[in-house]
Amino acid sequence: MVEQTSLRKYLSAPGILFLIIVTQIPFVVAIYFAFTNWNLLRPGSNQFLGWDRMWRNFTRILNNPDFYTVLWNTIFLTISVVVLTFIFGMALALLLNRPFPGRALARTLLITPFLVMPVAAGVLWKNIVLEPTRGLLTYIMEAFAPVIQVGINILNAIGSVLTPILKPIIALINPVIDLLNTGLFTVVTLFTSLPFIGIEGPAEFAPLAHLSLAESFYLPTSFYLPEAFPMASIILIVTWQWTPFVMLILLSGLQSLPDSTLEAAKIDGAGGFGMFRYIMLPHLKRFIEIALLLETIFILNVFGIIFIVTTGGPSINTTNLPYEIFKEAFSRWNVGRASAYGIFAVILANIVILLFLRVLGNQNESEAPA
């Protein structure tokens, strides 16, 4: 028995060694580069900055207000996609769990978006679906132009009616957002002004400024979606691509639920919502945890779709941390600062994962029998 255990350890050693080589060694090298001033336009600049200036890359990043916008974009994109893919994935999984003609074909077609490479998905959506002159969306809007125009006119009319009504509310909400921005600015300033590092906070910082409400509401009659709603476009495409991933995991969980359990619930008089709330959802808990955790890790690293569809713009409205790392390394050729951005990306991913696991652990403890 002891020999079999030792043999198992030796058999897993090559796989562990390979993972260390392809993940941990590059990370260690990135940590070293983060403390250098290496710029590819300056040969021989990949030297250690020195103990007195070793935090310079991190200082300049934390002093840059754009960093906090990029950080907010990353978090907002991740949360939005995870929530939307969970809702749509759950709905599709429940649909495919019911027998109907053509279910196998429908399942295959619904899985297809997940099999498309991110760059190919970006090209597909940008040049075929969202293209402003010959795109599918443009064709649909032209085909239903009268109906869409009426809908837009109704929405604009409602907006013009609600504007004077909502002005007092907006006058109350916007100062609250400004106060939150001031509070966040103070927290960041105190956090970054660390005496043992010598970092000063950013000169300006308002991550929630885009949440301020306008005093008038108007929807344009024609627009190019990635320009008019850039972040919404990215969220739409990423959600389209990752919904099948969540759907597959939840569908496997539903199919592992014994039919006898559902039949017994029906006999006892349980309705559809009751069975979902008290039987299916508790059974799917582990599957939901796995799906959301894995998806969160991958969504934090979204790059290809942003690169193809919006190139991080307009301005930096859709720039997340992976795309900022790309710009720093391959547009500004600053490998040292790009490595420092990479360290922040790893820290963010670990914080999100630890919070996720902590929430799950607290739920498990609360549900454990006394």
pLDDT at res. 187: 65
In this predicted model, which residue has the larger pLDDT, 299 or 207? Answer: 299
The CA distance from 160 to 168, in Å, is 15
Supply the pTM of this predicted model: 0.81
Q: Write down the residue that tokens 């897993």 correspond to.
A: 12
pLDDT at res. 134: 80
Q: What is the rounded average pLDDT of the residues 55-67? A: 86
Q: What is the rounded average pLDDT of the residues 188-212? A: 57
The mean pLDDT value of the chain amounts to: 82
Core vs surface per residue 207-222: b (16+ CB within 10 A) or e: beeeeeeeeeeeeeee
Is the CA virtual torsion 151, 153, 155, 158 positive or negative? negative
Cα–Cα separations (whole angstroms), residue 366 to 16, 117, 316, 369: 35, 41, 42, 8
Per-residue pLDDT band for 368 (boundaries 50, 70, 90) equals: low
The CA distance from 34 to 346, in Å, is 13
Q: What is the rounded average pLDDT of the residues 67-93? A: 93
Highest mean predicted confidence (pLDDT) among 61-75, 170-184, 321-335, 354-368: 321-335
Highest mean predicted confidence (pLDDT) among 37-46, 223-232, 293-302, 350-359: 293-302
Contact 81, 238 (CB under 8 A): yes
pLDDT digit string (tens) for 149-193?
777 778 777 777 777 776 777 677 777 777 776 776 666 666 656
pLDDT at res. 367: 62
| DSSP per-residue codes, 241-252 | HHHHHHHHHHHH
In this predicted model, which residue has the larger pLDDT, 40 or 193? Answer: 40
Contact 325, 6 (CB under 8 A): no
Is the link from the previous residue into 314 a cis peptide, with omega within 30 of 0?
Answer: yes
Under CATH, which number does the domain 55-130+224-364 receive? 1.10.3720.10
User: In the chain, where are the structural domains located?
Assistant: 55-130+224-364
Contact 234, 306 (CB under 8 A): yes
| DSSP per-residue codes, 300-357 | TT--HHHHHHTTT-STTTT--HHHHHHHHHHTS-BHHHHHHHHHHHHHHHHHHHHHHH
The CA distance from 253 to 247, in Å, is 10
